[in-house]
């Protein structure tokens, strides 16, 4: 996948991508590598992320980070700044689905809280510390992966829908806070994508989501990586506090 583009628009830039051991995070990280970036693959799964990096080339680096732990997040970014003296791009793709095909009355509070912790608190902590290191250079691109579920709400997924709605609010707020800084903060709201995370879901839930897409198919990882890498490129200089849709026609406003 990292050979899709070879135009070096990220040459000499330093990027961090969370959830980069597999799925969407891996696809974005590989695309960034293919366009010239030095990329740090972050994931909670140390074994998987090191395997991904071992197959990705010399500009790929692995770090096991729990994005719900502020000290770990701070230390991860500090380590990168010490080595490279810069941070240009940050993408938060780490997330879990949690309970699905399950109504709120059947959703345990602990499961709900875990989804909020990883998807929303994790977005807050990583964006906060990325911004601290981008601010001195007055340049940066932050992309938080949201979901169409956060805009419209998916029945059977109250925890995930709530968390991703929170991510959307975070993007709109923080993007405005840094609008004059040279740093953009945006979100991406895909409809269902065939990723390892989706493969673990109840098939009835996946069918419910896919049936809502006018194109009647899932997005591909290449399609998501393509749009994501434009959003985090120098070209997207007048876009901030915005949620980009990638929904095969499901989102129309």
Contact 53, 17 (CB under 8 A): no
Residue 53 DSSP one-character state: H
Angle at 20 between CA 19 and CA 26, to 5 degrees: 125
Residue 39 DSSP one-character state: E
Amino acid 6: pLDDT: 52
Query: Would residue 150 count as lying in a domain?
Result: yes
Query: Would residue 4 count as lying in a domain?
Result: no
Answer whether residue 4 shows pLDDT above 60: no
180 alpha-carbon distance from chain centroid: 23
Query: Would residue 109 count as lying in a domain?
Result: yes
Domain extent, residue 224, equals 14-241
Query: Would residue 207 count as lying in a domain?
Result: yes
Q: Is 140 exposed, middle or buried (0-12, 13-18, 19+ CB in 10 A)?
A: buried
Amino acid 252: pLDDT: 77
Answer whether residue 79 shows pLDDT above 60: yes
How far is Cα 80 from Cα 123, in angstroms, rounded to an integer? 18
Question: Which residue carries 């949690």 as its tokens?
Answer: 98
Query: Would residue 252 count as lying in a domain?
Result: no
Determine the average pLDDT of the residues in 137-152.
96
The full DSSP string for 104-154 is GGGS-HHHHHHHHIIIIIHHHHHHHHHHHHHGGGT-EEEEEE--HHHHH--
Nearest one of 185, 4, 179, 224 to 89, comparing CA atoms? 185
Amino acid 5: pLDDT: 53
Query: Would residue 83 count as lying in a domain?
Result: yes
- The count of domains in the chain is 1
Query: Would residue 48 count as lying in a domain?
Result: yes
Amino acid 229: pLDDT: 98
Determine the average pLDDT of the residues in 108-130.
98
Amino acid 50: pLDDT: 98
Amino acid 1: pLDDT: 41
List, for residues 153-162, the tens digit of each pLDDT value. Answer: 999 999 999 9
What amino acid positions are annotated as catalytic residues? 160
Q: In the chain, what percentage of residues exceed pLDDT 90?
A: 82
Query: Would residue 218 count as lying in a domain?
Result: yes
List, for residues 53-66, the tens digit of each pLDDT value. Answer: 999 999 999 999 99
Decide which of 170 and 202 is more confident. 170
Mean pLDDT taken over the chain: 93
**Helix 109-116 and helix 158-177: axis angle, to 10°?**
30
Q: What is the CATH number of the domain that holds 163?
A: 3.40.50.720
């Amino acid at each position: 996948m990292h050979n899709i583009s070879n135009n070096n628009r990220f040459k000499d830039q330093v990027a961090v991508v969370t959830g980069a051991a597999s799925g969407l995070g891996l696809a974005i990280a590989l695309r960034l590598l293919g366009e010239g970036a030095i990329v740090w693959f972050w994931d909670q799964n140390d074994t998987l992320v090191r395997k991904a990096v071992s197959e990705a080339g010399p500009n790929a680096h692995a770090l096991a980070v729990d994005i719900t732990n502020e000290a770990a997040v701070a230390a991860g970014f500090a380590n990168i700044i010490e080595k490279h003296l810069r941070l240009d791009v940050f993408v938060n793709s780490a997330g879990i689905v949690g309970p699905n095909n399950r109504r709120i009355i059947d959703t345990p509070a602990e499961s709900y809280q875990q989804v909020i912790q990883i998807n929303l608190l994790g977005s807050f902590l990583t964006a906060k510390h990325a911004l601290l290191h981008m601010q001195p250079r007055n340049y940066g691109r932050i992309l938080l992966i949201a979901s169409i579920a956060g805009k419209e709400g998916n029945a059977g997924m109250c925890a995930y829908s709530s968390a991703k709605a929170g991510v959307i609010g975070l993007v709109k707020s923080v993007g405005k806070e840094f609008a004059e800084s040279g740093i953009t903060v945006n979100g991406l709201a895909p409809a269902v994508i065939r990723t390892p995370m989706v493969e673990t879901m109840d098939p009835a839930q996946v069918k419910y989501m896919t049936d809502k897409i006018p194109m009647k198919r899932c997005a591909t990882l290449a399609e998501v990586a393509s749009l994501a890498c434009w959003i985090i490129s120098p070209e997207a200089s007048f876009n901030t506090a915005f949620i980009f849709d990638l929904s095969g026609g499901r989102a129309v406003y």
